[in-house]
Amino acid sequence: MSEVLVQTEEQITERIHGFLARSFAGRTLSEEDDIFALGFGNSLFAMQLVSFLEQEFHFQIESDDLEMDNFRTLRAMVQLVKKKIGA
């Protein structure tokens, strides 16, 4: 698989949103919806999400990054990705 360069926040958002849409079929999520508070996320999903982000954006999530606040919302995940890839 070739690495795809991500340059804009919009591109990052679209890619994460696509993953979430597959996981939560039939539910529209806003950038601020807390997926865990809404009951859509669990520990297995959290592991899948971490794996997706690492593979999709080609970076390693460190133990310091594993705070729930980094994964609660689409906006939080976008900010984490931007920080990790230096976008």
Q: Residue 29 sits in a domain of what CATH number?
A: 1.10.1200.10
- Other Cβ atoms within 10 Å of 58 Cβ, number: 14
| Confidence class for position 82, pLDDT limits 50, 70, 90 | very high
Measure the CA angle with vertex 31, ends 72 and 24; round to 5°: 70
What is the structure's pLDDT at 3?
Answer: 53
Q: Does a structural domain hold residue 36?
A: yes
What mean pLDDT comes out for the span 33-52? 90
Q: Does a structural domain hold residue 4?
A: no
What is the structure's pLDDT at 5?
Answer: 61
Q: Does a structural domain hold residue 1?
A: no
Give me the domain span that covers residue 48: 9-85
**In the predicted structure, residue 28 carries a pLDDT above the cut 60:** yes
What is the structure's pLDDT at 1?
Answer: 43
Q: Please give the sequence-ordered ranges of beta strands (E in DSSP) within 1-87, or none if there are none.
A: none
- Quick one: residue 58, left, alpha or beta (phi over 0 = left, psi -120 to 50 = alpha)? left
Q: What is the mean pLDDT of the chain?
A: 89
How many domains would you assign to the chain?
1
Q: Does a structural domain hold residue 3?
A: no
